[in-house]
């Protein structure tokens, strides 16, 4: 176990800039999720940390030691690959023991560690089988057990759950969280699934176009997104952004008078759909185009003042398409964004 | 469903028929020929074959060639395909150059190497100019069996390593890079990766290449004949001798049957020795 420091790492593949610049510090035993849409450079960053890819510049430090020039095997880490990369010619037991066998650990230690990792991942009964005889979920467990068995300083995971079906993913997510908490391993976890990142991680690093745009606790990323991109990417449904104008330090939205972070000019008002509430008087007018009953809540899609907006209301509300409602929200829930740069105004 | 299966058989039928006509029937005839001498059925042809002066030499030479040349070629081809796998630039060009011997006919290759190794060949000329030898030296006589063997070995390696190589290259291309990457992340050195991951994953290709190459090595003929002539008898050149020079088709057929049995045994050996462990493939 050790802290992981990524400093100013960049990588281009010919003309393609995969990673513009990434700096990230992960504390000892911390679980950080690297979250971003596909193609934003997550895998590239993970592979650079692992030593499978060479960065154009920047450093990777594990436990204070600069490992940038070391081959993967000398970095003291373990990795769970997206397609598991469980060796098909070895039994589950041989797979889990692989890292220790390569390090020429004593047989007794190998047996002990394999048993421990297997019991953590509940694959004790599968140790004699070959990967071809396992389901996708079981292979995934083997891949995690193989990584845990070496007691790595840092554990890297690249979308480990993305090949599982939805129900299994939910199950494995909870299980992974419990197992990794118990193991206390410093973990960098790559995913494009925001619920996975929010549910698992101590902190979430949101990536966009080769850059880390926000690093914060899941609830902070959710409530206080650093940019329009983060607000739109994290959360389902995404944050609403309304183009509004400040006049004399005030923004008017229907009957609402909101104090703006600037005197005059255009800006974006960010508000989460579930922060919106239906009111009898006051508020602003919202015209419902589609109402989707989703069990736990009712998702309304419509427009206000010609701008698209989504609202989440309690499931018992009877709202039909075409209805006109008055909506209001707590001004404290607003996230103001600069209209030009798309970045949050005020503190990060 | 039933109609589909009928269609499948119907589509396969022409190739089976074709094989039967050009392969199975001559095979049957050869076997019949081998077991018949002067109209009587029996092992007389085989007795004649085994009693021949050159028979033991031919067996020893053939086996010796196979046992030395096949492992050497496998090692070389594995090394070549690994080098190619880790090249970033110029892969196609090198693949192409290394595959050139595939396009050269056996006899042409044999004659080229004869030109190099013969008394007044390139090798002697170079050695003479380097001052290593003082006059023409004969390498390819029955008095210099080791030099002759090595000469044939070198020619065979040049000519036929590419067969193993292309099979292995095709095989390595089927192995996702992830396995070797996983191995290196989990602490494997380059050699451990090769031994513990790449070679086992390549096993189906290695098996195919070994079967192909071993069968061809037992049938080595043109190169051996060009370089060694009757100084280096092998099974197939003996068969040719009995057929062409001695006009004794029965003994030639006996040789053919012997070669077939040996190659069948070798194929079976590889199939069993390199089979996957139970459960390894679904
Ligand atoms: N080996 C490579 N060669 C060329 N381009 C690559 C390579 N690997 C990744 N890229 C490019 O770099 C960008 C980031 O890729 P990647 O790190 O795999 O993204 P992510 O894992 O976030 O989906 C993509 O545009 C991708 O096409
Ligand atoms: Mg990826």
CATH code for position A312: 2.40.50.140
pLDDT for A348: 46
Whether A42 and A155 map to the same domain: the answer is yes
Residue nearest to atom 11 of ligand 1 (CA): A18
Measure CA of the first residue to CA of the last residue in chain B; give whole Å.
Answer: 25
Q: Is B244 within a domain? A: yes
Per-chain residues with Cβ under 5 A from ion ligand 2:
A 43
Whether A122 and A201 map to the same domain: the answer is yes
Q: How many domains does chain B have?
A: 1
Helix (H, G, I), strand (E, B) or coil at A118: helix
pLDDT for B58: 92
Q: Is B45 within a domain? A: no
Whether A26 and A93 map to the same domain: the answer is yes
ipTM of the complex: 0.87
Residues of chain A with pLDDT > 70: what percent? 99
Q: What is the distance between the alpha carbons of residues B17 and B19, in angstroms, rounded to a whole number?
A: 5
Please identify, among A201, A230, A259, the residue that sits at the C-terminal boundary of a domain: A230
Whether A221 and A253 map to the same domain: the answer is no
A163 falls in which pLDDT band (50, 70, 90)?
A: confident
pLDDT for B166: 94
Q: Is A345 within a domain? A: no
Whether A64 and A33 map to the same domain: the answer is yes
Burial class (CB in 10 A: 0-12, 13-18, 19+), A148: buried
Per residue in B12-65, pLDDT (tens digit) is 999 989 988 898 888 999 999 999 988 888 899 999 999 988 899 999 999 999
Q: Is B36 within a domain? A: no
Mean local confidence (pLDDT), A125-151 = 94
By a Cβ cutoff of 8 Å, what residues of chain A touch chain B? 50-52, 71-73, 75, 77-79, 81, 83, 85, 87-89, 98-99, 102-103, 129-130, 132-133, 146, 150
Phi, psi of B161 (to 5 degrees): -65, -30
The DSSP line for chain B is: -HHHHHHHHHHHHHHHHHHIIIIIHHHHHHHHHHTEETTEESSHHHHHHHHSTTHHHHHHHHHHHHHHHHHHHHHHHHHHHHHHHT--SSHHHHHHHHHGGGGS-HHHHHHHHHHHHSTTSHHHHHHHHTTS-SS----SSTT-HHHHHHHHHHHHHHHHHHHHHHHHHHHHHTS-HHHHHHHHHTT--HHHHIIIIIHHHHHHHHHHHHHHHHHHHHT--HHHHHHHGGGS--HHHHHHIIIIIS--HHHHHHHHHHHHHHHHHHHHHHHHHTPPPTTS--
Q: What is the distance between the alpha carbons of residues B79 and B83, in angstroms, rounded to a whole number?
A: 6
Q: What is the distance between the alpha carbons of residues A64 and A273, in angstroms, rounded to a whole number?
A: 43
Mean local confidence (pLDDT), A200-228 = 95
Contact (CB, 8 A) for A214 and A201: no
pLDDT for B3: 78
Per residue in A259-284, pLDDT (tens digit) is 999 888 899 999 999 999 999 988 99
Whether A62 and A36 map to the same domain: the answer is yes
Per residue in A78-104, pLDDT (tens digit) is 999 999 999 999 999 999 999 999 999
Q: Is B181 within a domain? A: yes
Domain that holds residue A202: 4-230
Whether A52 and A200 map to the same domain: the answer is yes
Domain that holds residue B245: 54-273
Q: Is B39 within a domain? A: no
Q: Is A347 within a domain? A: no
Contact (CB, 8 A) for A269 and A334: yes
Does B279 contact A at CB distance below 8 Å? Answer: yes
Q: Is B5 within a domain? A: no
Mean local confidence (pLDDT), A335-341 = 93
Mean predicted lDDT score pLDDT of chain A: 93
Q: Is A82 within a domain? A: yes
Please identify, among A203, A230, A257, the residue that sits at the C-terminal boundary of a domain: A230
Does B206 contact A at CB distance below 8 Å? Answer: no
Q: Is A348 within a domain? A: no
Q: How many domains does chain A have?
A: 2
The domain that holds B161 is classified in CATH as: 1.10.3720.10
Whether A105 and A129 map to the same domain: the answer is yes
Considering only A64-73, A144-153, B117-126, B157-166, which range has the smallest mean pLDDT? B117-126
Q: Looking at beta carbons, which residues of chain B come within 8 Å of A99?
A: 186-187
Q: Is B105 within a domain? A: yes
Q: What is the distance between the alpha carbons of residues B127 and A283, in angstroms, rounded to a whole number?
A: 101
Q: Is the pLDDT of residue A22 over 90?
A: yes
Q: Is the pLDDT of residue A1 over 70?
A: no
Please identify, among A192, A215, A230, the residue that sits at the C-terminal boundary of a domain: A230
Whether A217 and A187 map to the same domain: the answer is yes
Whether A217 and A312 map to the same domain: the answer is no
**What six digits make up the tokens of B37?**
């001498």
Q: Is A343 within a domain? A: no
Per residue in A300-320, pLDDT (tens digit) is 999 998 999 999 999 887 888
- Split chain B (282 residues) into runs of 10 and give each run's mean pLDDT: 83 91 90 90 91 91 93 95 88 90 86 86 88 83 85 90 94 93 95 94 94 89 86 90 90 93 94 87 70
pLDDT for B119: 81
pTM for this model (two decimals): 0.85
The domain that holds A33 is classified in CATH as: 3.40.50.300
User: Which of B182, B187, B201 has the CB atom closest to A103's CB atom?
Assistant: B187
Question: Which 80-119 residues of chain B touch chain A by CB within 8 A?
Answer: none
Q: Is A346 within a domain? A: no
Whether A141 and A53 map to the same domain: the answer is yes
Considering only A118-127, A336-345, B104-113, which range has the smallest mean pLDDT? B104-113
Q: Is A198 within a domain? A: yes
């Amino acid at each position: 176990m050790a802290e992981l420091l990524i400093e100013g790492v960049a990588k281009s593949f010919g003309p393609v800039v995969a990673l513009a610049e990434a700096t990230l510090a992960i504390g000892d035993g911390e679980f950080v999720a690297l979250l971003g849409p596909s193609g934003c450079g997550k895998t590239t960053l993970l592979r650079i940390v692992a030593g499978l890819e060479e960065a154009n510049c920047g450093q990777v430090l594990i436990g204070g030691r600069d490992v940038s020039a070391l081959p993967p095997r000398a970095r003291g880490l373990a990795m769970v690959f997206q397609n598991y990369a469980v060796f098909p010619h070895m039994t589950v037991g041989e797979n889990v023991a692989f890292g220790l066998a390569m390090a020429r650990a004593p047989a007794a230690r190998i047996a002990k560690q394999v048993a421990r990792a297997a019991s953590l991942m509940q694959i004790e009964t599968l140790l004699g089988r070959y990967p071809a005889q396992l389901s996708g979920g079981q292979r995934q467990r083997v891949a995690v057990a193989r990584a845990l068995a070496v007691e790595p300083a840092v554990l890297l995971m690249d979308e480990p759950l993305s090949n599982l079906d939805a129900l299994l993913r939910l199950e494995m997510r909870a299980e992974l969280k419990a197992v990794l908490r118990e193991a206390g391993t410093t973990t960098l976890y790559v995913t494009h699934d925001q619920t996975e990142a929010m549910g698992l991680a101590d902190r979430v690093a949101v990536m966009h176009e080769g850059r880390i745009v926000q690093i914060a606790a899941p609830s902070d990323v959710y409530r206080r997104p650093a940019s329009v991109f983060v607000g739109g990417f994290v959360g389902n449904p995404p944050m609403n952004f309304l183009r509004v104008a400040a006049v004399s330090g005030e923004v008017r939205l229907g009957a609402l008078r909101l104090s703006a972070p600037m005197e005059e000019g255009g800006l974006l008002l960010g508000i989460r759909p579930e922060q919106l509430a239906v009111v009898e008087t006051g508020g602003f007018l919202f015209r419902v185009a589609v109402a989707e009953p989703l069990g736990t809540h009712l998702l309304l899609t419509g427009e206000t003042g010609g701008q698209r907006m989504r609202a989440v209301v309690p499931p018992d509300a009877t709202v039909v398409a075409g209805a006109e409602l008055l909506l209001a929200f707590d001004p404290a829930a607003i996230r103001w964004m600069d209209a030009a740069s798309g970045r949050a105004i005020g503190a990060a | 469903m039933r109609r589909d299966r009928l269609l499948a058989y119907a589509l396969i039928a022409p190739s089976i028929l074709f094989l039967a006509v050009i392969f199975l029937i001559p095979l049957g005839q050869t076997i019949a020929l081998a077991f018949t001498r002067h109209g009587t059925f029996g092992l007389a042809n085989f007795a004649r074959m085994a009693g021949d002066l050159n028979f033991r030499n031919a067996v020893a030479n053939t086996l010796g060639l196979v046992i030395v040349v096949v492992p050497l070629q496998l090692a070389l081809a594995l090394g070549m395909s690994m080098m190619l796998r880790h090249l970033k630039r110029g892969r196609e060009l090198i693949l192409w150059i290394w595959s050139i011997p595939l396009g050269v006919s056996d006899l042409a290759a044999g004659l080229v190497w004869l030109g190099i190794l013969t008394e007044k060949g390139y090798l002697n000329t170079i050695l003479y100019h380097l001052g290593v030898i003082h006059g023409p030296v004969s390498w390819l006589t029955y008095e210099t069996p080791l030099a002759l063997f090595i000469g044939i070995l070198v020619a065979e390696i040049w000519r036929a390593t590419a067969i193993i190589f292309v099979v292995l290259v095709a095989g390595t291309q089927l192995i996702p890079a992830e396995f070797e990457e996983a191995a290196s992340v989990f602490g494997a050195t380059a050699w451990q990766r090769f031994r513990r991951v790449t070679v086992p994953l390549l096993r189906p290709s290695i098996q195919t290449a070994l079967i192909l190459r071993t069968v061809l090595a037992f049938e080595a003929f043109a190169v051996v004949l060009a370089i060694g002539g009757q100084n280096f008898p092998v099974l197939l050149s003996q068969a040719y001798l009995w057929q062409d020079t001695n006009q004794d088709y029965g003994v030639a057929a006996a040789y053919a049957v012997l070669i077939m049995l040996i190659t069948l045994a070798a194929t079976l050996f590889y199939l069993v020795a390199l089979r996957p462990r139970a459960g390894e493939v679904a």
